Amino acid sequence: MLQTAVNAADKMGGEDFVALDVSEPMPLADIFFIVTGRSERNVGAISDEIERELHKTGHKLLRREGKAGGRWILCDFGDLVVHVFHGEEREYYALERLWKDCPTVPFEMPTRPSVAGDFA
């Protein structure tokens, strides 16, 4: 689930990805995936793409909050809770500091094809 969410967020231009293992202090979820969007529209697009891709793989959205404002959208998929923030809200709410005792969960960033004109 996490890797699918990472791939979808990356596809839509998400930034500053962090995944935290919150299973110890929070028995209702295993992972918080936190990502930043550049604008309200981008936050919504990232959230929509994550939801669409997880749905394709058989994961049902249980709850979504914040869609109308586009500043912080929470998507609850049960074991995975996705937080898509606008940059200012992410800094203000600082979930990484709040959950600082939780270990990070590794994931792989998708490889991007090189653009014509890139030189090695």
Q: What is the pLDDT of residues 10-54, one digit of tens each?
A: 999 999 999 999 999 988 899 999 999 999 999 999 999 999 999
Question: Helices H, strands E: what count in the chain?
Answer: 4, 5
Give the separation between CA 50 and CA 67, rounded to whole angstroms: 13
What the chain holds in terms of domains, given with CATH numbers, is: 2-98 (3.30.460.10)
Listed in sequence order, the residues at least 6 apart from 117 whose beta carbon sits closer than 8 Å to its beta carbon are: none
**For the whole model, what pTM was predicted?**
0.89
Give the separation between CA 75 and CA 78, rounded to whole angstroms: 9
Q: What is the pLDDT of residues 52-96, one digit of tens each?
A: 999 999 999 999 999 888 899 999 999 999 999 999 999 999 999
Q: For residue 28, what pLDDT is reported?
A: 85
